Amino acid sequence: MMDRFQTKVEIPETEQAGTVIGFHLDPRRVTFRVRYTPGEAKFISEWAGDLIRRGERPLLVFPAGFFTSDNFALGLLVADGDRYGDSIGVGGVFAVQDGQPEIRWLDPQPVAPAERFDQAVEAWPAYVSRGAITPLNEHESRAARTVIVETRSGDFFWLISPTDLFRTVDLARWLIDSDLDVYNALNLDGGRSAGYWAGDDDFMDSHVALPAVIAVYAR
């Protein structure tokens, strides 16, 4: 249902290797739902605890898209069919419609004004689109990263590099060279927002509180 792995990735131009933790998510066996509390932020551990107290049983909870200093989502966000904000056309969107998740690079395929989703998070940059690396900034700072990946076969991976070692271009190159069969890949909020919860014995809390997360559930 949800397979976890951990690997070391050599970082070009440095003498270091960074850890990448990943979860394989089969959309035939799991569902994705966006959880959002506009103007109110919680740490990843608090999100997981609140969902459990509400009677939900998440398998995995991780950061969604970017947000403002007063805890409102930047760009398009859709939670259980409720739409918040409009697409700003930057990066990509992770979306679910009729139970089917997808990742889309917005440069060639923007969100149409009348387009509807059950769940959606706009974020940036897109690492990979249709099997090719997108234009990325090679001079950006290194940071903790979180990534959602769609494979050519339609499976998904969620990945986190928890230390401040990777540029987006480093991860994009590793994704293309990996055996994950990457078709599309999208950067989600990382840095101090990076973290995840996969159970009380497997979690890394975010360093800041977040107004939105993506939760994964068994079908």
- CA distance to 68, 74, 84, per residue, from 203 (Å): 25, 26, 28
CB of 92 within 8 A of CB of 184? Answer: yes
pLDDT of residue 133: 96
pLDDT of residue 11: 86
Our measurement of the distance from residue 162's CA atom to the centroid of its chain's CA atoms, rounded to an integer in Å, reads 13
Our measurement of the distance from residue 43's CA atom to the centroid of its chain's CA atoms, rounded to an integer in Å, reads 16
pLDDT of residue 15: 83
- Domain hosting 142: range is 2-218
Number of domains in the chain: 1
pLDDT of residue 1: 73
- Give me the residues of the chain with pLDDT under 50, please: none
What element of type H or E holds 127? Answer: strand 126-129
Interatomic CA distance for residues 81 and 147, integer angstroms: 23
User: Does pTM top 0.95 for this prediction?
Assistant: yes
CB of 160 within 8 A of CB of 191? Answer: no
